[in-house]
Amino acid sequence: MVPLTIQEEQVHLKKIDKDLKLCLFNQFDNNCSNGIIKAHSVSKELFLRKISRNNKVYNPQMDTIKYKVNMKDIGVNEASVFYGFCNKHDTNLFSDFETGKFTASSSQLLKLGYRALCLEIFKKIKVIKKFSFYKENMDKGKNLLDQYRIQMSSNKEIAFNKNSLIKLEKIQALLHSDIIENTSDKMKHCLITLENPQNILCSSMISPEFNLNLERLQKLDNTTNAKNLFLNSFIFDDIGYVLISWLAEEDEYGKIFSNSIFSESHLINHKLIALILMYTENVFITPSWWDSLPDEKRNHLKKLIEYVEGFESNVTLNIQDHLEALQYLTHKFL
């Protein structure tokens, strides 16, 4: 068979990105309306516009060939977008803090964590589709050994992500009753208040193996048993917050991780910045702040974003003070 060209491969992958549109709440309430919309995992009007310059923000993106981070200038209309909800369900789920006052109620905090979860589910579905494409197409014209390698590699990635997706959908089902009944039994939180609005926003679901005191909390050899955190950095009424959430049934894991942030007062800001930049991809940065930094500081922050291996032995070398990014004030467990 004729092998795909690089251009053909990119066209197919972009088509998967463009065509994947679904309502992730449909399985719980199939009464969708007004079509699938551009849902923002980080609120456009409430959060992104506050850190924008000319309605644009920076998003760190990895050059997979050079393995270096570049800052992409992205408009707030496109930043953090995923096609994961219909208009009705996006409005019903998130309007209490999108259009109302932020009170840090358990319901509002739950929904911030829930939106990060739904983004992760959407990303897993997309990754499975892309590796299924690889499996079906990328071995065309290859010799038998290369075909075998491509098939095995694709099968491994598909199986890994399907296992992760099973766990994520179980969490979504677990949180469903709290969402519908407006209760707060299934999720716990650590809400961190900052002295000033911060320059780094995010919304993501992460699964740290180590806390920020370098103590191992879990091994990720089986993703179906992974413990997770939901991480959000946002601004309400000119007050900056970082929210760490976890399942109530994993309360010990969540508290041990969160407490490791505050164990040394002089490292709290350092650890918060490292947590956001080292663990999350769905990150948005104030362009004017980033551009004002000396090259040395920008390069250091890029190293945090690029950092993927040896975390347990080298994290202390990668944590430095960047008070311009965020400044810790207080925290409370909810």
CA distance 8 to 106: 48
Domain coordinates of the chain in residue numbers?
Answer: 6-41+81-181, 187-333
CA distance 120 to 63: 22
> In this structure, what token pair is assigned to residue 289?
């702040």
CA distance 31 to 29: 6
- For 202, counting Cβ atoms within 10 Å of its Cβ (0-12 exposed, 13-18 middle, 19+ buried), the class is buried
Question: Is the torsion defined by CA of 305, 276, 52, 288 positive or negative?
Answer: negative
Is the model's pTM score more than 0.75? Answer: yes
In the predicted model, what is the mean pLDDT of residues 303-310? 71
Q: Give the tens place of pLDDT for each residue, 177-196.
A: 888 877 778 999 999 999 99
CA distance 9 to 12: 5
Q: Contact, 227 vs 218, CB < 8 A?
A: yes
Predicted confidence (pLDDT) at residue 7 exceeds the cutoff of 70: yes
Q: Contact, 140 vs 2, CB < 8 A?
A: yes
Phi, psi of 83, deg, nearest 5: -90, 70
In the predicted model, what is the mean pLDDT of residues 122-134? 96
